[in-house]
Amino acid sequence: MMIEAEVQRRKELIHQSVERRAIISKCYKPKHPEVYTLQDSFLAPEFLEIVRFCTSPGADLQGLLNYLESFSDKRIYRLPVFTEEFCQAFVDELENFEQSDMPKGRPNTMNNYGVLLNELGMDEPFLTPLRERLLPITALLYPELGGACLDSHKAFVVKYSLHEDLDLSSHYDNAEVTLNVSLGKEFTEGNLYFGDFNQDPTPVPKYIEVEHVGGHGLLHRGGQIHGALPIASGQRWNLIVWMRSSAIRNQLCPMCHRKPELVEAEGFGDGFTDPQTVNLCALG
């Protein structure tokens, strides 16, 4: 009965999201329309250099790690992603949307403040090209998680401030690989913390703290247990992209660790596919 209720709840969420997107598409006037389509000029030169390395002959993990900042043995990596100019324009656009009278949905079940980017129409022109840019990187970092064939995503922006969401409790993501980019603005504290991988728990988890760096992104396994400490002042905006590999999750749902039973969904849904009708990439 609980499963049926959850399926019904998700169907209603999807229907509401489709309705909101239609209204936004028809009625919302963007302040910075240029930020809706990914351009090379938005990306940090160092990010483009990393992509060039990963697509060059003979690129390997050891060579890639020379370009990244690594944290402990948890396979968490930091890299430059966006320019400061893009981050400022993007946050300004998000604030413009937030202050409009457009309908808004919660970004996920844990955050109350933020924006679902697919409802702004950013999936095809911005997020899919960004995910595809990341593939050569994730292929080397997370091959066993389908890093070479992350074929769908869910993306949203979350906002933390003193009178809204302050922090985020421990959780793991509905993703094979997560990208978390710090967009700004000015804030203090609010570090991320990381514990065990959810499929490999230890009796006494060892946590590490990682600071936010503007324009930089953290790549981590979706199953890495993590959270966010409270901010002390200001506002913090982060872009979160849950990247998913149907080749992996079609075998085992990452949330319940069972063989998935699929129901039809709009768009990417939760990243599962029907293997009878979709060609999947082969994992090396």
Query: What is the pLDDT at residue 147?
Result: 95
pLDDT of residue 281: 45
| Residue 107 structure tokens | 């970004």
Half-sphere CA count of 81, side-chain side, radius 13 A? 26
- Short-list 123, 40, 242, CA closest to 51: 40
Domains of the chain, with CATH numbers?
2-249 (2.60.120.620)
Q: What is the pLDDT of residue 12?
A: 76
Give the C-alpha separation, 187 to 235, whole Å: 5
pLDDT band at residue 280, thresholds of 50, 70 and 90?
very low
Q: Is the pLDDT confidence value at 123 over 80?
A: yes
Report the pLDDT value the prediction gives residue 128, as an integer from 0 to 100: 97
Tell me the per-residue pLDDT of 235-268, one tens digit each, with 9 for 90 and over. Answer: 999 999 999 998 887 676 665 556 655 445 455 5
Task: Output 250 or 160, whichever has higher pLDDT.
Answer: 160
Is residue 121 predicted with pLDDT exceeding 80? yes
Secondary structure letter of residue 43 according to DSSP: B
Is the pLDDT reported for residue 164 higher than 50?
Answer: yes
User: What are the residue ranges of helices labelled H in 55-190?
Assistant: 61-65, 84-99, 128-141
Distance (Å, rounded) from C-alpha 93 to C-alpha 95?
Answer: 5
Q: Phi and psi for 182 in degrees, rounded to 5? A: -80, 120
pLDDT value of position 4? 64
CA distance 269 to 282: 21
d(CA 46, CA 209): 24
108 pLDDT band, cuts 50/70/90, is low
Output the pLDDT for position 166: 63
For residue 13, the model assigns a pLDDT of: 74
pLDDT at residue number 155? 95
Give 71-93 pLDDT, tens digit per residue: 988 999 999 999 999 999 999 99
pLDDT at residue number 219: 98
- Interval 191-208: pLDDT, tens: 999 998 877 777 777 899
Give buried/exposed letters for 25-41 (b at 16+ CB in 10 A, else e).
Answer: eeebeeeeeebbebeee
Question: Is the CB of residue 102 less than 8 Å from the CB of residue 19?
Answer: no
pTM, to two decimals: 0.86
